[in-house]
Amino acid sequence: MEWGLELLQEPERCFLELQHARAAYRPGLGSFQWEVLATTRSERTDAELRVGSEPLLVATEVPQRSEELRVLGQVTTDSLPPDNIDVVIYLSFRGTVSQENMITNLKAELVPLTLGASAQGQVHRGFQDAYLALRPRLLTKLDEVTADPSLLPARVLVRATGHSLGGVLAMLACYDLRSCRGVTCECVTWGAPRLGDGGFAELWNAAGIKLERLVNRSAARG
């Protein structure tokens, strides 16, 4: 809560986060440097199903038009925040744009979280499957842009954002990257639905990820 209030007192930062969330819906890269698109399992190479010696988790069901799951990325060393951060990686996840995405949203039953080492916590099935469809190429790209052996994971800050479906994908990415890569994460979501149960909330809080969820009042009642 304290970080959220601090963020809201920085209108330029809030506007930047909103611009980043909107950019994921637009064609092209805009101010971002690269994009990652999800693939179906049959389209993935062996390299994409494994990063180093670590096998990658895969979705049990992937939307048929999974190319519509999209994340934009940007790496910067300019205007770094304090607290011993050397690199900031901005991620912007696209939200709902198709009927297939709507089907993903409607797969609302809770299933066990498959990210991280803990067996605790359940999350929305459709959201987790959507993130797992993005995960192989996302991790591969992030490992590529942080390949400098002198760069410590704790000195990498991931700032993830997204609107609607994109917001919950940003949350799952932050939890995953904090768990499996040890990077520092901040997450700002816009109109994002609830992601998981109380068990997942405990895992999230224990991970130390800064989160600000921005919703309008009518959406919050839904």
Query: What are the angstrom distances between the C-alpha of 157 and each of 24, 74, 77, 86, 98?
Result: 20, 12, 10, 8, 31
Structure tokens at 180: 């499996």
Q: Is-contact 65 38, C-beta < 8 A?
A: no
CB count within 10 Å of CB 200 equals: 25
Q: Determine the pLDDT at residue 67.
A: 47
CATH no. for residue 186?
3.40.50.1820
Per-residue pLDDT of 112-167, as tens digits, reads 999 988 778 999 999 999 999 999 999 999 999 999 999 999 999 999 999 999 99
Task: Give the number of domains in the chain.
Answer: 1
Q: To the nearest whole number, what is the mean pLDDT of the chain? A: 83
Could you say which DSSP state residue 67 is in? Answer: G
Q: How far apart are CA 68 and CA 44, in angstroms?
A: 16
Enter the pTM of the model: 0.83
**Domain range spanning residue 101?**
2-220
